[in-house]
Chains A and B, each alone.
Chain A
Amino acid sequence: MRSFATKRWAGIEGLTLLVVAIGVLTTSSGLILAGIIGFGYAAYTKLWDAPVADVSIDRELGDEAPAPGETTGVTLTITNTGSKWLSDLRVIDGVPPALETIDGPARIGTSLRPGETTTCHYTVSVVRGKHTWDSLRLITRNPSGSRERETVCEVSTTLRCTPPLHAGANLSLHGLTTPYSGRVTTDVGGYGIEFHSTRAYRSGDPLNRIDWNRRARTGTLSTLNFREERAATVILLVDSRKEAYVAAEPTGRNAVERSVDAVATIFSSLISNGDRVGIATMSPTECWIAPQSGKTHTARVQEALATHPGLAPTATEGTLYHTLWFNRFIRRLPADAQVVFCSPFVDDRPIYTARRLHAYGHLVTVITPDETTADTIGDRIAAIERQHRLQTLRGNGIRVVDWGDEPLPTAVMAATQRWSQ
């Protein structure tokens, strides 16, 4: 980039001439001599242009794949590969927006002779996702600071942070299931463990299901039915619109991050129960993984939860056309799928989504991270509004897990006790 004048020393010639003129008029030799310093500086500011930052930069990460919540050191090594002395070199590293610099700013001001090397070290706290450092800004100035030149230097470094999947919370599902056997107890009589009903014997019924007690008592044959246990198809839907990126504290984890945590936990517990589970987002950058089961599917979901831009720890740009999104989503949704919907419910849009899904016959369970606080009147009104929204959902027969500060399994347990099957 071309250098430009900082106008830092603007007016020094005029001021000096004024002082000298006063010195001449009052015959004060001291003032005239003082003018020499001023003129010296005026000449100094005209010396040299801002040098071109001819440097090589290397960025090294302490750990390229740390676990979420860990910290990792970043070391910048800057070497002056040009032939000019960079007397005033300022380097500003472009830290990915989701990472927090916790030890020293990612910036350094230095002075490098040709061939000389300096390092800058800082630490970032890592969150889930794929984070890329793209560019650095280099600012050089001439010694007087009257000219400046800014260069952007491309040095790409990628850090991947994939959270492990831990099964933790057993979310009891609704009775909407697939024909495949699984763990969800249904109201269908057949093979199973829990008693369901008895019916008249039909030839061909297995011997072990004949009610022999009744046969002994009355002499008629009847067959026992048990509740069938079947597998469910579940879509885990995350609200990651810009509005959902809210946190109770400025440094706390936001609702989307907590939703993704909940999804990861529920996903692994459901998939290990034999259910078919898929992932979807309600966001401008849409994510859709059709419900399946198996190890490959698990690996794909784990990767998506870590790095998909629609589930990123910071909001993505773009507009969500809600009706279009919903129509597309409902078309993709298998007819027998239930939906687990994670949203902080900070506006009315998710209510509309949940109620429409419910109306279409997909049973909906809502998991809502509570990010409201009670610090100010406004905060309390927001909390009341949110409670009112959840009340509306419960009134519509939608199951709600209100997830505060407690661990997710505790919240699920507390909510499950209230649900009538």
Chain B
Amino acid sequence: MKLTLRDFSQKGDLAAPAQASRAVAPRDSRPTIVVGLGTCGIAAGGQEVYDAVVAELKKRGLDADLVSVGCIGMCEQEVLVDVVLKGAPRVTYARVTPDMVARIIDDHVVGGKPVQEWIAGTIADEFAPYRDVAFYQKQKRIVLRNCGIIDPGRIEEYLDRDGYRGLAKVLSAMKPAEVIDEVKKSGLRGRGGAGFSTGQKWEFAAKAAGDKKFIICNADEGDPGAFMDRSVLEGDPHAVIEGMAIGAYAIGADEGYIYCRAEYPLAIKRLNMAIAQATERGLLGRDILGRGFNFELHVKEGAGAFVCGEETALMASIEGERGMPRSRPPFPANRGLWGRPTNINNVETWANVPQIVLNGSSWYAAIGTEKSKGTKVFALTGRIKNTGLAEVPMGITLREIIYDVGGGIKDDKEFKAVQIGGPSGGCIPAKLMDTPVDYESLAATGAIMGSGGLVVVDETTCMVDFNKFFLNFTQSESCGKCTPCREGTKRMYEIVTRITEGQGTMEDLEKLEELAQMVKETSLCGLGQTAPNPVLTTLRYFRDEYIAHIVDKRCPAHVCKALIKFRIDPDKCKACLICKRSCPQQAISGDKKVVHLIDQAKCTQCGTCEQVCPFGAVIRE
């Protein structure tokens, strides 16, 4: 059934801020059981848990409302199962396996007594979940407000939480120019990494001459170590769709594309489902809400090329061409998709828009710092205790993110650096952890805000090897169109590889620095312009590690294979033969009750002995 403006205005004044109830309650008279089935949840075995819930309910002849939701952010704790009973907060169980399901149902769903020892947290207020969990205490959820809370497959749940109210508001009472002005005043900047003013970008496209205009959502989240956009698309696809519809109205577009990478099959499925539901309700398509506004939305699946995250390459890919960037100007706002004025923003940017429209620019501008407004979603990964997805207000320090939200370093190792912004970003050392998270402060360190990947590394990561990892990525993803990026990234990769093999010279460091600077300044697109950032920041903050590889032929983190030796500590060796049997090179001698010894001439530093030794007797040096 198609919705009309009245359906929205009946629920309250459209000009007033958000109306949705924040209270937690079962959806009907039955108890609600929620299973986290985002990609993370499924990867941890969520489907098996879901099936177990179905089977256990059936066994007991129980009727419950079984809901699957997207990612709430606690990836470390997956599989997550929530139980909602009338009059009680929503209780979340962590690391649930199929054999735990029976007890959760018996004790909690039937008996009303939660299984205390498995509880990870509780939600009393849906817009501020888990006040009892440290991971959430410094978070502010605007983009992620529905993720993990609502069933992304049911449009009603999005509608119940002020969904499409922002769209109804602009269509009923705002001129396109007023919408742009509101977004401009909010201070929202592009969340894809570059941080350009979203309102300004819209204004360019709105002012561009042309009767046909396009709007695009960049969901080609290619940075290794980043999954913010995936979670939003899987957990709350309607927020992105609504944001795009508002943007289309503002710039005068009637057609849009969501370009999503093919590695996210679940996100694509949920988007297509959401678009079909929104179209059915008259929230997409022709004459939306009876206001004469038309907007048609398509999903385009990427085909596996990192460079397609660059806007001109992305458009070439939608057109069915090789995804190669072109020089700008002309900018997409004037000549974009099929030569028409086009506005591109990324997933997180779009998901902010409905909330800004609904609550007003001054509400949004009150969050964050002077130049960086609102919140930023980060994917916390690597050697950190609480890996997961966190949305924090701009201006929070890296230290707060890593220690207060992330819980500090895994296994209590020594914290070394945080890599922010993926292959385009940089490594910020431990001593700069009080840097506030805003576009300008991060740029001053040599890194960038980037799209939100935040990888924590400790003493066991070699910064030279880490840099090599990123260079290998960028050199293989370089599209090859411009020489500085095609040749430069490859040569930098070769130099760094040489250093990790103990073949580097001090002259290499100068060459590397010069080359990095050159690639940064002269590459055609963002890929090449930012690819040197990991090189430049590691040289700036961890030059001593490079020098150790070159001069002392030593890898301080004991990672680079050519520069390490495995040795068996005779005091710890119990002569159990396990390593000897596992060694693929037969490089280990010894016998029962005879302490084992590694023949360095035969050893290939594969590390198998270290992995299999039950006594930690194999040491790297």
Q: Is this pair of chains taken from one and the same complex?
A: no
State the B residues within 8 Å of A (CB). Answer: none
